[in-house]
Amino acid sequence: MIPAPSAPVVLLAGPTASGKSDLALQWAQAGGAEIVNADSQQLYADLRVLSARPPEADEQRVPHHLYGVADGAEAWSVGRWLRMVLPVLAGVRARGRTAIVVGGTGLYFKALTEGLADVPSIPSPVVDVAAREFDALGEDGFRARLAERDAEAARRIGPGDRQRLLRAWTVAEATGRALSEWRADTRPSLEPGSWAGVVVEPPRAALYARCDARVGAMLRGGALQEVARLMARGLAPELPVVRALGVRPFAAHLAGSLDLDSAAAQVRLDTRRYAKRQLTWFRNQTPLWPRLDPFSPAS
C-alpha cells in the first residue's frame, strides 16, 4: 500500500475517477484516521450515485464527515463549506486522529491552505447591472474595464470565465476595494506545517478509461432513478445539483428527447472534460504537492 503522509491534516486531491476515495479509505483504515469530504457534489444528499459518493459500507468502516449533508435546494458556497469543515477538523484533532480531506474541488483546498477573503455580500442589483454590462461589452471589453479597477484579477482570470470576471468587478463596485486587495489580506485557514498535500494523478488514458467505466457503473447503480427523483422536485435550474455531472443528459433521456446511448455518451464526454479541467487546475495551483499514481507498481 502507498504510505500516507505524516501530518495532522492530509489533503488528498485529484480529478474525478482517479481512485482518491479508495486510497483515502486505505490510509484511514491503516492509521485510524477520519475522512472529510472536499467534493462539492458529494455534499448533496440527492447525488449519491451521480457524485460517486463512497458506499455506505465504506462510510461505516471509518468515520466520514460532510458527505450528503446538503439538500438539493441549497447552494453551498466555498465559504459555507469552509465554515463547516473547520470545526470538523478541530474535532478530529481533539480526538488525536489524522483528518484526511479528500476531494476534487480545488477551491476547497485553496480555502484551507490560503484562506478565503471575507468579502461582504454583494447586492443583487450590482450583480444584475454587471451581467448586463458584460453582455453589452463582450468578454474583452469587460475585461479591459475590469483592468482599470483590478488589474491583477483581469490578468489572472482565464479566458471564458464569465463568473469570476463578474465576481471581481462586482466586488470592486460594491466595496470600493479590488478583490485582489481583499485576497492579499487573507490568512490561511490551516497553520503552516500542520498539513501535507498530495495529488492523485493517474496517466491521462487510464483516467479517461475510468471516467467511461464510472458512467456504466452509475447506470447500474440507479443513476436514472436518482435523476428522476431530483427532477420531480422541480428545483431551479441554476442550483448546483441540477448542474451536476450527468443530470441534464439523463434528464433529457427521461423526458424522451434523448436516447439512453446518446445520453450516456454525453455524460462520458462531460466527465472526461471535467477530469481534464481538474488536472489542469491542480497542476497550475498545487505544483509543489507530490504526485502519485495509485495504479502504478512504482507508487
Q: How confident is the model at residue 298 (pLDDT cuts 50, 70, 90)?
A: low
Q: Is the pLDDT of residue 154 over 90?
A: yes
Digit-coded pLDDT (tens) for 18-46:
999 999 999 999 999 999 999 999 999 99
User: 186-210, pLDDT tens digit by residue?
Assistant: 889 999 999 999 999 999 999 999 9
Domains of the chain: 9-116+187-202+282-292 (3.40.50.300), 124-184 (1.10.20.140), 204-276 (1.10.287.890)
Q: What is the pLDDT of residue 58?
A: 95
Name the average pLDDT for the chain: 94
Task: For the chain, give the percent of residues with pLDDT over 70.
Answer: 99
Do the strands 9-13 and 99-103 form a parallel or antiparallel pair, or are they unpaired? parallel
Cα separation of 249 and 148, whole Å? 41
pLDDT for 277 = 94
Please name the residue that has the C-alpha cell 499514481: 293
DSSP class per residue in 107-129: HHHHHHHH----PPPPPHHHHHH
Q: Pairing between strand 34-37 and 99-103?
A: parallel
Q: 163-172, 179-188, 225-234: which has the minimum mean pLDDT?
A: 179-188
- In this prediction, residue 184 carries a pLDDT of 79
Residue type (1 letter), 97: R
- For 211-270, how does the pLDDT look when each residue is reduced to its tens digit (9 = 90+)? 999 999 999 999 999 999 999 999 999 899 999 999 999 999 999 999 999 999 999 999
